[in-house]
Amino acid sequence: MKGVVAQFFYVGAQVGVASFVIRYAQFSVPGTTAKVAALYLLLHQVGFMAGRFIGSGLMKRIAAASLLALFAGASLLCATVALLASGVIPVWAVVFIGFFHSIMFPTIFALGIKNLGALTKRGSSLMVMAIVGGAFFPAIMGRISDAASIQKAFLVPLLCYVYILYFGVQGYKPAAVTGLERTSLGSESTPL
């Protein structure tokens, strides 16, 4: 179940951050045109693509959970800069978040269904349904942006990264299952 929660938070953060890149650039650097701000979004997405390739290579040397924790920690740092700093530096922090998002979905998915045995199909289904976070968190960011500022809206993905960091460090490890839990789940396998 922790994997489903991590995926929910990740997709929410990913969609929220990507949706706010252009407006954030215009807010953070007054006078930035929509065309220039769109280039930051392009770089954010190029970073996402590059991170997929680089992250795959890194996983040959670094355990998936450790790399997830590292990228979540880096995203947390970038979101903190976006939340607290001003000028062009936080815009670049938001751009770099795209790179760090790159490995999160597949890594959370793989760690979340690891060792589920007979419950793998159910776990996979729940993991896919967790993408609803992509509808939930951007709406919250929008409310905060309207009520306070777009900069303060970056508190939402920041909190998401805290949970993803926890999941990468400790949360992905399966919990012990009691006999009662096995019976209620209808399986002898480890539950979500």
Q: CA angle, 15 as apex, 146 and 27 as ends, to 5°? A: 40
Q: By residue range, what is the domain housing residue 94?
A: 2-185
The answer as to whether 191 is a domain residue is: no
Q: Which of 172, 149, 155 is nearest to 64 (CA)?
A: 172
The answer as to whether 168 is a domain residue is: yes
The answer as to whether 180 is a domain residue is: yes
**pLDDT at 182 exceeding the cut of 70:** no
The answer as to whether 51 is a domain residue is: yes
Q: Which of 164, 166, 140 is nearest to 153 (CA)?
A: 140
Q: Amino acid letter at 81?
A: V
Angstrom distance (rounded) from CA 129 to CA 71: 23
Angstrom distance (rounded) from CA 146 to CA 165: 28
114 vs 64, 106, 130, 147, CA distance in Å? 12, 12, 17, 41
pLDDT band at 176 (very low <50, low <70, confident <90, very high): low
pLDDT per position as a tens digit, 54-99: 999 999 999 999 999 999 999 999 999 999 999 999 999 999 999 9
The answer as to whether 105 is a domain residue is: yes
The answer as to whether 190 is a domain residue is: no
Q: Which of 164, 138, 152 is nearest to 9 (CA)?
A: 164
Residues whose CB falls within 8 Å of the CB of residue 68, separated by 6 or more in sequence, listed in order: 103, 104, 107, 108, 111, 164, 167, 168, 172
Angstrom distance (rounded) from CA 75 to CA 165: 9
The mean per-residue pLDDT over the stretch 6-16 comes to 98
The answer as to whether 192 is a domain residue is: no
Q: What is the pTM of this model?
A: 0.87
The answer as to whether 110 is a domain residue is: yes
> What's the structural domain count of the chain?
1
Indicate which CATH number applies to the domain containing 47: 1.20.1250.20
